[in-house]
Each structure stands twice: as structure tokens, then as C-alpha cells.
Amino acid sequence: MNPPAQLILTVDYEVFGDGSGQPRSCVLESTERILAIAESRGVPLTLFVEALEFAAMEREPACQTQSDAVRLQLTEALARGHDLQLHLHPQWRGAKLDPAGNWQLDLSRWRIGDLPFHEVAGLLEQGKVWLEELGRQQRPDYRCIAFRAGGWCIQPSALVLAALSDQGFLIDSTVAPGLRNATVGEWSDFRDAPDLPFWNVDQDLTVPVSHGVWEFPILTGRVARLDHLKALRKAGLAKGCQGSYRGPGGAAARLFGRLNRLRQLGTVMLDFSTLPAPQLIEITRQWCERFAGEPASLPLAAIGHSKNFTATSERALSEYLDWVNGQGIVGTTYPDALDLISSG
């Protein structure tokens, strides 16, 4: 394949955005299955760790056992050659458990793109410090340099990008070219993303510039609308995981969001939790063909979520990684992919 393509296999490592879902069944167990499949195919996994929620869990005595298990899984993943990078859902800032055992979150903070600069900078610093303190117990040279915004809600992006740059982040991997979420309180709009496999940004994520943080987009592509609909119908939650996709806007906003998604049928992210292998392969093929003329190495960012990684996803990921290996596509991490691009 020309240019040499490199797969960055990523998982958003978190419970649900409204605080529902148990770490054991929605994060730990399914992530272990993803790690095992990735390892058996020689591909490193990047865990986009939603650090605020795990920091909140550590403050709650009732969550100690699961918090310890999360720390152990993350440090062991690093020891096994995988990578950890930062994912943030600001609604977890200062979260507390109520007496009934439910998380009290500030859902008005759903979108990091809506927050003032000092708050964004504070959250990024908190997440990076938490992750680096944990990672360096295992690997003293560990660095948190890549970011993905919770719910893809990074826009308007100027303040977030300035804060990322201030905090020493080198890469953002939030943009899903061509996709839009019009739900009130959860919006994102990447329809104007440039026709590039990666680019630099400083103000608007969709406008390439010659300096600044790198954008490594999540791969997107076109599949048959009926196949997409079938995949949506089959999508479920990880074994034993229960939770709610409730957002900040209530039932009406959720219905609107669902209708809006139906309008976009056929445009999909390279999501190994929800798509069958033939569609994952098709999207990767389209991307490689589209950027065949690029001189540098081609990073391919794929996304999955621990909470909706089902037995069907296991088969899809296994089959997809077998195809990846057969194509000579090598698995990599953000720091290694960036090194290669910078040196080449």
C-alpha cells in the first residue's frame, strides 16, 4: 500500500456521559477483551481515558475497589506496550455520588467548546497531571500529548486549541470529517474539514495552517445506507453493561438527535464497536485510496468505546485486524506516528 499506512486503534475509556454504568462491566471487562484481540494481532491500543471521572471515583470510598482495578488496568496496558491519552467530559468536574449511589454531574458543562479559557486550561491540566502521574509509575518517560473532546464537542475550537497548546499537547484527534451532530447542547460540525489525512490547527479545527497542534482525524467514509441502518439496529452494550445515553437536553433533544442521525445515514466513523468488518475494511480502503498521493506516512485513527463493545464487535475487530495485517498496515500510537511524520 502506498503511502505506508499506520493504524491508530483507539478506545474512549469511560462510563456513560450522565454518570450511569458500572466501570467493571462498561469499562474494565470489555477493554480487557479489546486489549487481548489487539495484542493477538500485534497492534497497540490507545486508551482515551476520561480522567475526570476516574479521579472523581478515587475521591469516593464506595468506589475504591473499582478505582484500584482501573489504575491496575491502565498501568498494565502501558507495560504491555499500549498507550494512554486524554479524553475529557467536563460535566465530571467536582462530581459526587449521592446517597443512592448515583453520580451528580453538571450537565450544563457538557461541551468543552462552550467553557471559558481558564476552565478549559484547568481541566486539561488536571487530566494530564492525573494521567502522567499514573503512567510514570509504570514508564518514567510516559507523556500525555494527545486529546479527544468528550462527545466530539470541541467547537468553537479556538480557546480549546490555545489551552491544548499551553498545556503541551501536540495532537488533537476529535474531528470526524463530514459528520455533524445538530442536537442542542451536544453539537459538532465537521462538514468543512479539509480534504487532508492530517493537518495543523490553531484557531478553527477545520482550517489547516502551517503551525500549531496537529489534527489526526478519526477516519470516516461512506457505506450503503441500508448496511448502516442494519449496523445501528444491531448495536448494543457490552456484556453486563447497563447505562443511558441521556444528554444535557432531555428527551426532545434526544429524539431530534436520533432523527438527525437518520438523515446522515451512510456517512460513518471507522467505529469498530458498531460496524461489521466489511464496512470497517471499506472505509479504510476509501481513505487509503483518497490519500494515496500523500508523501508522508498515513495515520489511520479508528475509534471504539468500551461500553458498547459487544460479542459482535469482538468478531468485527478480529476480522478487521486480520485484514489490516494482511495489507501490511502497521499498528502504532500517536507519539510514534507523530515522530514518523516529523522525521519524514
Distance of closest approach, residue 329 Cβ to Zn ion, in angstroms: 26
Question: Is 247 one of the binding residues for Zn ion (CB under 5 A)?
Answer: no
Listed ranges 144-152, 203-211, 247-255, 332-340: which one lies at the site for Zn ion (CB under 5 A): 144-152
Listed ranges 10-18, 77-85, 101-109, 268-276: which one lies at the site for Zn ion (CB under 5 A): 10-18
Question: Is 12 one of the binding residues for Zn ion (CB under 5 A)?
Answer: yes
Helix (H, G, I), strand (E, B) or coil at 188: strand
62: which 3 cell numbers? Answer: 464506595
12 or 314, CB closer to Zn ion? Answer: 12
The CA distance from 116 to 94, in Å, is 17
187 or 199, CB closer to Zn ion? Answer: 187
Distance of closest approach, residue 50 Cβ to Zn ion, in angstroms: 6
Listed ranges 11-19, 105-113, 136-144, 202-210: which one lies at the site for Zn ion (CB under 5 A): 11-19
The count of chain residues that interact with Zn ion, using the rule CB under 5 A, is: 3
Distance of closest approach, residue 314 Cβ to Zn ion, in angstroms: 21
Helix (H, G, I), strand (E, B) or coil at 18: coil
| Intra-chain end-to-end CA distance of the chain, in Å | 17
Distance of closest approach, residue 101 Cβ to Zn ion, in angstroms: 22
12 or 18, CB closer to Zn ion? Answer: 12
Are 88 and 150 spatial neighbours (Cβ–Cβ below 8 Å)? yes
Listed ranges 13-21, 117-125, 255-263, 310-318: which one lies at the site for Zn ion (CB under 5 A): 13-21
Site string for Zn ion, 46-85 (x = CB under 5 A): ----------------------------------------
Could you tell me how many residues make up the chain? 344
Strands 146-149 and 103-104: unpaired
Distance of closest approach, residue 17 Cβ to Zn ion, in angstroms: 7
Listed ranges 142-150, 213-221, 280-288, 329-337: which one lies at the site for Zn ion (CB under 5 A): 142-150
Distance of closest approach, residue 151 Cβ to Zn ion, in angstroms: 6
Listed ranges 143-151, 156-164, 253-261, 306-314: which one lies at the site for Zn ion (CB under 5 A): 143-151
Helix (H, G, I), strand (E, B) or coil at 38: helix
Within 13 Å, how many C-alpha atoms sit on residue 7's CB side? Answer: 33
With DSSP H G I counted as helix, E B as strand and the rest as coil, what are the percentages for the chain, rounded to 5?
45, 15, 40
Helix (H, G, I), strand (E, B) or coil at 89: coil
150 or 331, CB closer to Zn ion? Answer: 150
- Render the burial of 69-100: b for 16+ CB within 10 Å, e for the rest: ebeebbbebbeeebbbbbbbbbbbbebebeee
The 8-class DSSP code of residue 192 comes to T
Question: Is 271 one of the binding residues for Zn ion (CB under 5 A)?
Answer: no
150 or 248, CB closer to Zn ion? Answer: 150
Question: Is 150 one of the binding residues for Zn ion (CB under 5 A)?
Answer: yes
Q: What is the 3-state secondary structure (H, E, C) of 256-289?
A: HHHHHHHHCCCEEECECCCCCHHHHHHHHHHHHH
Residues in touch with Zn ion (CB under 5 A): 12, 14, 150
